[in-house]
């Protein structure tokens, strides 16, 4: 890649990213929106929470991504008996060659670049909170020592909407740290047909090429962060965030009726970063209004908390967010 | 920043200002036109005064529109927002607003370069980029419609094609007013107008003035003004006729010429006197009856012949008959009193009030008749001292009785003055005065002195003749004389006050005493000041003579001196 010509760099990165999606498509049938959303998370430096029924290929997708990006990949299966040390690591007593014993820190799976936290809502809140610092600060503190995580670092967590019995819903503080909550849809008939056709090759990642390295991903993240977003669009993001709060002045009636808590400022930051990533993917030189509107649902759907009435009446978050988007003035 | 982009921004700003100015001007003008139409409707219904011309509304509305334009032009413009609006309208992908922010010092390499290239490739037409818009077009069309409506109404109104609701029904009144006008204008212009004619003229003038206030059509207003001018000229002619009445000796007695009208007028004057006297007498009788009933009630209550309830009921009944509010309230309070003692006290107070009322009525009656007497005497004296004796059968016979009634009246008045109260004496005087007044009314003698000063005296001829020297002497003798009348000042009815004013017009009198001085007022006429004042007023000669004779008449009897 040319180091001198930034524009050329950007163009090359954009091509690589397009190739990334094509490479993923070799293994994952359909799920284009999911793949795009994960790519946006990657580019914006965020984490993603994948929600879907079992068997949709969540784990395969993350494994594929790890393979293509050439990043270190670890998977943690969250169970109720999982301990924080199982994630972060622990001190173990080791003996060196001279026979001296000392404590050594054995790093846990969190020290991978791409971490798949499978069924995260099956672990206890104590274990779940072990991810908090890592996701936000990109480091792990144990005792007096802080261990930085290797960039790019991304957590992809999955949760099963079924089997609510025996699960521990993620606390709002932890959910807010996920950039996107991606809802996996069931494959269409055609897609299912293709999946079944390829069933023999399922899980075989040997044919995949590494199209983007970690360093290149970091460079892409740098350019994404530089993408200009005009001040009227930033004001639009502010209006969107405030429109999710029932106590705001100009709020859609549905929000007033069915929402307990609105989105946090972190939601606005996530929205802008992922919109930049979206514009970057599309090759645009600036963030557009359509970028913001495209990623709005993904960025906000896990950050707006319904009240009891909203849950009892079965009002979906998507309905509420659609109302917000419709009623918030663009200009 | 790209200079072309700078120029584009300037064009966009100018366009936005123009749109703002148009929007605000349209809003203000629309409101102003709406108010103008509402005003037009209200003025045609007579609810608001009309403008001299409806065309005034146009410069007013134009001024409002221009003010709105100026205000809109000066409104601050948020350029990034406007650029975003253009981006959305043209689907440029927010290039303009992004380039506006991230160019120059804030340029973000390498994106700004690409932004600039893309912006340069855009061919932005500010007019197309910032169109008028459907909403603005709709509002402006309303403004245009209101403007056209106002123009149409103004045109129709000025061409008198619009019937004004205020003039509905005027057609029927027009006929009546035309008849009145004809009767007024057909009256002999060489003679003064009678009281009835004056009243007609006054009513017609009022109606015309009302018409002027509500009508805005110029042609109609012109007609109204022309008619008012005619009426005014008629009034002027009447006044001039009064002035031109012959005063020199040897000329035919104008009294004879104006006999018919002046007798009518005298009759009208004296019959109004009679009416007043009759009303006063009735009021006094009612007060006396009430007094008697109250006395009986008091006596019954003292003797214990009435229960509390009965007494209360009778007092309330009497209250309903009370001639004035104060007395009514007093009797009602007595009815509501808790014990007999309080009731007796309140009834006594009511008695006192009634007595005062009766006394006042007596005084009023006496004053009324004295005035009537004086008028009679004055006219008699004029007739006696005038050129052509206006002897009529009725008059000769009237003299003695008039004199008698006059003496009786004056005696009664003297008694009244001595006693301060007294209902009997003025009664005699009043009866006599009424009789003489009635006779005078038949004979058609003076009555004009109590209307509008001496002007409408209908030409009583009192010229300088044989009797004038003697009269002058009498006047000189009588100059220091004073005339006194005790009457409760605050109880003077308005017509008596007016009469007093008219008779004493120009004649200074001193008010001695105040309302607190036993509730009476003493009026004193200082005749030493009469002559200079009469001269100073510039009254015609025959009128001066009348006034002079009048004062002589009322102070003829030495016994009448206070």
Residue A318 contacts B where some CB pair is shorter than 8 Å: no
Supply the pLDDT for residue B510: 45
Nearest Cα of chain A lies from the Cα of B98 at a distance, in angstroms, of: 5
In 10 A of CB A185, how many CB atoms?
Answer: 14
The residue among B507 and A289 whose pLDDT is bigger is A289
Supply the pLDDT for residue B509: 46
Residues 6+ positions from B457 with CB-CB distance below 8 Å? B262, B446, B448, B449, B543, B546
- Which of B81, B94, B109 faces A286 most closely, judged by CB atoms? B94
Please tell me the CATH superfamily of domain A6-80+111-201+212-219, with its number: P-loop containing nucleotide triphosphate hydrolases (3.40.50.300)
Q: Looking at residues A43-58, what average pLDDT do you find?
A: 90
Residue B420 belongs to some domain of the structure: yes
Ranked by mean pLDDT, the top range of A18-27, A298-307, B229-238, B387-396 is A298-307
User: Looking up tokens 């109404």, which residue turns up?
Assistant: B153
Confidence of residue B48 (pLDDT cuts 50, 70, 90): confident
Whether residues A330 and B88 touch (CB distance < 8 A) is answered with yes
Backbone φ and ψ for A75, nearest 5 degrees, come out as -120, 135
- Which of B109, B111, B113 faces A286 most closely, judged by CB atoms? B111
Residue B306 belongs to some domain of the structure: no
Q: Looking at residues A148-174, what average pLDDT do you find?
A: 83
Number of residues in chain A: 331
DSSP B449: G
Supply the pLDDT for residue B345: 87
- Show me where the domains of chain A are located: 6-80+111-201+212-219, 228-327
Q: Looking at residues B210-227, what average pLDDT do you find?
A: 72
Which of A160-169, A185-194, A303-312, B8-17 shows the lowest per-residue confidence on average (mean pLDDT)? A160-169
Tokens of A266: 């972190």
User: Looking up tokens 């109880």, which residue turns up?
Assistant: B491
Nearest CA in chain B to A7: B110
In 10 A of CB B115, how many CB atoms?
Answer: 25
Is 50 exceeded by the pLDDT of residue A246?
Answer: yes
Supply the pLDDT for residue A292: 97
Mean pLDDT computed over every residue of chain B: 66
Which of A36-45, A258-267, B387-396, B553-562 shows the lowest per-residue confidence on average (mean pLDDT)? B387-396
Residues B125 and B172 in one domain: no
CA-closest candidate to residue B187, choices B246, B237, B245? B237
Residues B124 and B185 in one domain: no
Residue B324 belongs to some domain of the structure: no
Q: Looking at residues B212-231, what average pLDDT do you find?
A: 72
Q: What percent of chain B has pLDDT over 70?
A: 48
Nearest CA in chain A to B115: A285
pLDDT per position as a tens digit, A75-107 = 999 999 999 999 998 888 888 888 888 888 888
Supply the pLDDT for residue B223: 80
Is 80 exceeded by the pLDDT of residue B242?
Answer: no
CA-closest candidate to residue A186, choices A15, A310, A29? A29
Residues B7 and B125 in one domain: yes
Residues B134 and B266 in one domain: no
Q: Looking at residues B69-85, what average pLDDT do you find?
A: 94
The residue among B424 and B16 whose pLDDT is bigger is B16
Is the distance from CB of B184 to CB of B201 less than 8 angstroms? yes
Whether residues A232 and B95 touch (CB distance < 8 A) is answered with no
Confidence of residue B156 (pLDDT cuts 50, 70, 90): confident
Residue B129 contacts A where some CB pair is shorter than 8 Å: no
Confidence of residue B42 (pLDDT cuts 50, 70, 90): confident
pLDDT per position as a tens digit, B88-146 = 989 999 999 999 998 877 777 788 888 888 988 888 888 888 988 898 899 899 999 99
Is 60 exceeded by the pLDDT of residue A67?
Answer: yes
Supply the pLDDT for residue A231: 94
Q: Which residues in chain A have Cβ-Cβ distances shorter than 8 Å to B115?
A: 228, 285-286
Range of the domain at B220: 165-243
Mutate to test the interface with B, among A13, A228, A272, A290 (most CBs of B within 10 A): A228
| Distance (Å, whole) CA A308 – CA A286 | 41
Supply the pLDDT for residue A205: 74
Supply the pLDDT for residue B384: 54
Interface of A with B in 98-157 (CB under 8 A): none
Residue B98 contacts A where some CB pair is shorter than 8 Å: yes
Q: Looking at residues B476-503, what average pLDDT do you find?
A: 46
Residues B136 and B179 in one domain: no
| Distance (Å, whole) CA B96 – CA A16 | 29
Residues 6+ positions from A85 with CB-CB distance below 8 Å? A108
Residues B12 and B115 in one domain: yes
Backbone dihedral region for residue B93 (phi beyond 0: left; psi -120 to 50: alpha; all else: beta): left
The total number of structural domains that make up chain B: 3
DSSP B480: T
Largest CA distance in chain A: 73
Confidence of residue B381 (pLDDT cuts 50, 70, 90): low
The residue among B104 and B30 whose pLDDT is bigger is B30
CATH classification of A228-327, choosing from 1.10.8.80, 3.30.70.260, 3.40.50.2020, 3.10.450.350?
A: 1.10.8.80
DSSP A111: G
User: Looking up tokens 């784990």, which residue turns up?
Assistant: A59
Supply the pLDDT for residue A255: 94
Residues B183 and B288 in one domain: no
Residues B376 and B508 in one domain: yes
Number of residues in chain B: 562
The beta-carbon contacts of B132-140 under 8 Å, at least 24 apart in sequence, are B132/B19, B132/B22, B136/B19, B136/B22, B136/B23, B136/B26, B139/B23, B139/B26, B139/B27, B139/B30, B140/B22, B140/B26
Tokens of B213: 């206030």
Whether residues B97 and A289 touch (CB distance < 8 A) is answered with no
Supply the pLDDT for residue B326: 83
| Distance (Å, whole) CA B425 – CA B407 | 12
A152 cis-preceded (ω within 30 degrees of 0): yes
Whether residues A228 and B110 touch (CB distance < 8 A) is answered with no
Is 60 exceeded by the pLDDT of residue B211?
Answer: yes
Residues B98 and B213 in one domain: no
Q: Looking at residues B492-497, what average pLDDT do you find?
A: 48
Residue B115 contacts A where some CB pair is shorter than 8 Å: yes
Whether residues B98 and A228 touch (CB distance < 8 A) is answered with yes
pLDDT per position as a tens digit, A266-310 = 999 999 999 999 999 999 999 999 999 999 999 999 999 999 999
Residues B206 and B83 in one domain: no
DSSP A315: -
Q: Looking at residues B550-558, what average pLDDT do you find?
A: 51
Residues B150 and B177 in one domain: no
Pairing of strands A48-51, A180-183: parallel
Is 50 exceeded by the pLDDT of residue B393?
Answer: no
Q: What is the DSSP string of A165-211?
A: TT--PPPHHHHTT-SEEEEPPPP-HHHHHHHHHTGGGTT--TT----
Is 60 exceeded by the pLDDT of residue A30?
Answer: yes
Q: What is the DSSP string of A246-274?
A: TTSSS--HHHHHHEEE---HHHHHHHHHH
Supply the pLDDT for residue A105: 83
CA-closest candidate to residue B464, choices B472, B454, B456, B453? B472
Whole-angstrom CA distances from A248 to A245, A318, B419 are 6, 20, 91
Of B158, B189, B206, the residue at which a domain comes to its end is B158
Supply the pLDDT for residue A164: 64
Supply the pLDDT for residue B482: 45
Residues B213 and B69 in one domain: no
Q: Looking at residues B270-287, what average pLDDT do you find?
A: 68
Supply the pLDDT for residue B531: 61
Confidence of residue B481 (pLDDT cuts 50, 70, 90): very low
Residue B23 belongs to some domain of the structure: yes
pLDDT per position as a tens digit, B524-545 = 555 555 566 656 666 665 566 6
């Amino acid at each position: 890649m040319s180091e001198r010509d930034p524009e050329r760099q950007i163009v090359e990165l954009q091509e690589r990213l397009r190739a990334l999606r094509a490479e993923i498509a070799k293994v994952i049938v359909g799920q284009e929106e999911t793949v795009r959303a994960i790519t946006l998370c990657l580019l914006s430096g965020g984490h993603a929470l994948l929600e879907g029924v079992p068997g949709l290929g969540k784990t395969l997708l993350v494994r594929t991504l790890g393979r293509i990006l050439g990043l270190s990949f670890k998977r943690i299966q969250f169970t109720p008996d999982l301990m924080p040390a199982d994630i972060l690591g622990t001190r173990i007593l080791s003996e060196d060659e001279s026979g001296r014993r000392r404590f050594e820190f054995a790093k846990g799976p969190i020290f991978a670049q791409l971490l798949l936290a499978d069924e995260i809502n099956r672990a206890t809140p104590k274990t779940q909170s072990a991810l908090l610092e890592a996701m936000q600060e990109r480091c792990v503190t144990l005792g007096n020592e802080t261990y930085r995580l290797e960039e790019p670092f991304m957590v992809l967590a999955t949760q099963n909407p079924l089997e609510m019995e025996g699960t521990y819903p993620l606390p709002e503080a932890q959910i807010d740290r996920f950039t996107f909550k991606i809802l996996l849809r069931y494959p269409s008939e055609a897609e299912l047909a293709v999946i079944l056709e390829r069933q023999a090759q399922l899980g075989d990642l040997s044919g995949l090429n590494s199209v983007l390295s970690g360093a290149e991903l970091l460079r892409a993240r740098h350019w994404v962060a530089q993408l200009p977003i005009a001040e009227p669009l930033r004001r639009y993001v502010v209006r969107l965030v405030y429109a999710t709060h029932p106590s705001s002045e100009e709020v859609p009636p549905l929000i007033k009726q069915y929402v307990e808590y609105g989105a946090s400022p972190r939601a606005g930051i996530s929205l802008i970063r992922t919109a930049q990533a979206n514009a970057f993917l599309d090759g645009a030189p600036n963030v557009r209004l359509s970028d913001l509107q495209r990623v709005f649902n993904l960025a906000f759907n896990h950050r707006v908390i319904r009240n009891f009435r909203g849950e009892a009446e079965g009002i979906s978050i998507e309905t509420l967010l659609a109302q917000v988007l419709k009623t918030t003035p663009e200009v | 920043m790209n200079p072309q982009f700078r120029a584009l921004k300037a064009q966009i700003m100018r366009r936005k200002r123009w749109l703002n100015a148009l929007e605000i001007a349209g809003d203000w003008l629309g409101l102003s036109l709406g108010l103008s139409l509402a005003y037009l409707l209200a003025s045609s219904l007579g609810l608001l005064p009309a403008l001299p011309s409806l065309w005034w509304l146009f410069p007013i509305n134009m001024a409002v529109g221009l003010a709105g334009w100026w205000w809109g032009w000066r409104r601050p413009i948020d350029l990034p927002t406007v650029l975003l609006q253009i981006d959305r309208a043209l689907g440029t992908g927010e290039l303009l607003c992004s380039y506006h922010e991230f160019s120059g010092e804030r340029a973000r390499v390498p994106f700004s370069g690409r932004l600039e290239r893309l912006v340069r490739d855009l061919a932005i037409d500010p007019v197309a980029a910032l169109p008028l818009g459907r909403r603005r077009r709709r509002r402006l069309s309303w403004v245009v419609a209101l403007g056209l409506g106002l123009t149409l109404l103004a045109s129709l109104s000025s061409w008198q094609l619009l019937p004004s609701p205020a003039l509905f029904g005027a057609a029927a009144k027009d006929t009546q007013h035309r008849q009145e006008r004809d009767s007024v204008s057909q009256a002999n212009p060489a003679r003064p107008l009678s009281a009835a004619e004056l009243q007609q003229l006054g009513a017609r003038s009022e109606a015309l003035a009302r018409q002027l206030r509500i009508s805005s059509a110029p042609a109609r207003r012109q007609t109204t003004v022309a008619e008012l001018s005619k009426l005014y000229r008629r009034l002027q002619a009447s006044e001039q006729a009064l002035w031109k009445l012959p005063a020199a000796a040897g000329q035919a007695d104008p009294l004879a010429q104006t006999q018919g009208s002046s007798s009518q007028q005298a009759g009208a004057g004296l019959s109004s006197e009679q009416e007043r006297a009759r009303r006063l007498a009735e009021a006094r009788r009612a007060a006396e009856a009430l007094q008697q009933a109250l006395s009986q009630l008091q006596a019954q209550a003292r003797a214990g012949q009435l229960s509390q309830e009965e007494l209360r009921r009778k007092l309330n009944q009497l209250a309903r008959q009370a001639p004035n509010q104060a007395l009514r309230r007093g009797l009602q309070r007595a009815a509501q009193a808790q014990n007999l003692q309080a009731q007796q006290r309140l009834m006594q107070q009511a008695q006192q009030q009634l007595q005062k009322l009766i006394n006042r009525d007596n005084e009023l009656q006496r004053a009324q008749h004295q005035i009537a007497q004086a008028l009679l005497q004055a006219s008699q004296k004029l007739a006696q001292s005038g050129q052509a004796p206006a002897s009529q059968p009725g008059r000769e016979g009237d003299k003695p009785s008039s004199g008698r009634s006059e003496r009786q009246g004056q005696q009664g008045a003297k008694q009244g003055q001595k006693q301060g109260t007294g209902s009997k004496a003025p009664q005699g005087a009043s009866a006599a005065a009424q009789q003489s007044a009635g006779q005078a009314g038949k004979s058609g003698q003076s009555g004009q002195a109590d209307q509008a000063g001496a002007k409408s005296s209908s030409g009583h001829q009192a010229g300088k003749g044989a009797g004038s020297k003697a009269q002058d002497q009498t006047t000189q003798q009588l100059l220091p004389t004073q005339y006194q009348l005790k009457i409760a000042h605050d109880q003077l009815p308005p017509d008596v006050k007016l009469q007093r004013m008219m008779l004493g017009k120009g004649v200074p009198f001193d008010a001695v005493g105040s309302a607190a001085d036993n509730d009476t007022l003493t009026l004193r006429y200082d005749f030493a000041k009469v002559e200079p004042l009469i001269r100073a007023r510039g009254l015609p000669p025959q009128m001066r003579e009348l006034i002079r004779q009048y004062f002589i008449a009322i102070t003829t009897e030495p016994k009448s001196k206070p």
